[in-house]
Amino acid sequence: MAPNNFADRLIEAIEDKNNPAIVGLDPDFSKIPDFLKKKHSNNHGKTFESVALTIFDFNSQIIEAVKRIVPAVKLQAAFFEQYGRWGVWAMEETAKAAAAAKLVVIIDGKRNDIGNTSQAYADGFLGKVDVFGEKKRSIDADALTVNAYLGSDSVASFTKVCKENGSGIFVLVKTSNPSSSELQDLEVNGKKVYEIMAENVNKWGQEVIGERGYSSVGAVVGATFPEQAKALRKLMPKSIFLVPGYGAQGGRADDVVPCFNEDGRGAIVNSSRGIIFAYQNKGNDEKFALFAKEAAEQMKYDLNARLKKAGIHL
């Protein structure tokens, strides 16, 4: 039986695959192979439905290709939601397919608000919603990325659902984009804003620490800022870092080492474009899933080799 604490489940999945690398499903329609687009547009026309079916087909084949290699997938909500109700359908079906493949499912939606609105986000993505008096899951997600700029009361709804449903959140702390320093690196009372956020994440996560010693309240810490990651690792010793920015955004295996604890735990490293669109450098779009598999295997090898060199063993 799977553990009912998100952090415990994620660590178990990492150990099962011996791999801290995860695949980001960012289905940019313009980059999906043309033969898949034609397959669905021939049957359903050039419609939103065809786009959604194409995206789901693409994602399903990626999931099948990497399910024995990686512990988790991260769905970037924007690439689905831009297509309205059909895009949301594709996201829901992709999450179901990933869950059926026994992968941990993370929705990268960067949600939050206050009061009953934040509760609605928490229930919708991570808990259960009211369906004529009966509580039901609306999406098969294990975790959600959260923007905590609104403060502690906005996060309380999520931590409550995490505790009740065994879900998890990853709070934006130090993001991978170049301009993140415009706000996140400002000093307030002698501390950087990202350091203050990290202290809050550490505090918010205390009530959802699992048997493996890690909290279900994790942190988003970009691979593009390795020096800051060192300090953040000390400020959030029990939080699992979700590390974007690897590969296409410039982050390397060397850069992610500071995100890990000495026990080899504490981080998952995401690559999206570098894996799912690896076929673009190979000249054969019909083998896109095979090339994604090979890229995922290479990332696993590179990360494990670099961690081992640093004296960190999974």
pLDDT tens per residue across span 15-64: 999 999 999 999 999 999 999 999 999 999 999 999 999 999 999 999 99
Q: What is the pLDDT of residue 246?
A: 84
Decide if 160 is inside a domain: yes
Decide if 139 is inside a domain: yes
Q: What is the pLDDT of residue 312?
A: 86
Decide if 205 is inside a domain: yes
Please state, in angstroms and rounded to a whole number, the distance separating the CA atoms of residues 302 and 91: 30
- What's the structural domain count of the chain? 1
User: Is residue 249 scored above 70 in pLDDT?
Assistant: no
Quote the domain boundaries for residue 157: 6-309
Decide if 314 is inside a domain: no
CB contact at 8 A, 239 and 261: no
CA angle (252 as vertex; 250, 257 as ends), nearest 5: 135
pLDDT band at 248 (very low <50, low <70, confident <90, very high): low
Catalytic choice (39, 110, 128, 160):
110
User: Is residue 1 scored above 60 in pLDDT?
Assistant: no
Q: What is the pLDDT of residue 29?
A: 98
pLDDT in tens, 71-111: 999 999 999 999 999 999 999 999 999 999 999 999 999 99
- Residue length of the chain: 314
Furthest C-alpha separation in the chain = 61
Q: What is the pLDDT of residue 3?
A: 67
Closest by alpha carbon to 215, among 153, 277, 170, 281? Answer: 170
Is 110 a residue of the active site?
yes
The residue that leads in pLDDT, 252 or 115, is: 115
CB contact at 8 A, 101 and 63: yes
Across the range 135-149, mean pLDDT stands at 96
Strand partners, 131: 134
User: What integer best gives the mean pLDDT of the chain?
Assistant: 95
* Per-residue tokens: 271: 């690559």
pLDDT band at 2 (very low <50, low <70, confident <90, very high): low
CB contact at 8 A, 243 and 222: yes
User: Is residue 139 scored above 60 in pLDDT?
Assistant: yes
CATH number of the CATH domain containing 27 = 3.20.20.70
Which DSSP symbol is given to 7?
Answer: H
Q: What is the pLDDT of residue 250?
A: 61
Q: What are the angstrom distances between the C-alpha of 74 and each of 42, 63, 71?
A: 30, 11, 10
Please state, in angstroms and rounded to a whole number, the distance separating the CA atoms of residues 252 and 306: 10
Across the range 234-263, mean pLDDT stands at 89
Decide if 128 is inside a domain: yes
**What residue type is 73 in one-letter code?**
V
Across the range 306-312, mean pLDDT stands at 91
Please state, in angstroms and rounded to a whole number, the distance separating the CA atoms of residues 160 and 125: 13
CA angle (158 as vertex; 78, 166 as ends), nearest 5: 100
Decide if 162 is inside a domain: yes
Collapsing DSSP states into helix, strand and coil, what is residue 106? strand
Q: What is the pLDDT of residue 96?
A: 98
Closest by alpha carbon to 69, among 28, 108, 20? Answer: 20
User: Is residue 285 scored above 80 in pLDDT?
Assistant: yes
Decide if 245 is inside a domain: yes
Decide if 28 is inside a domain: yes
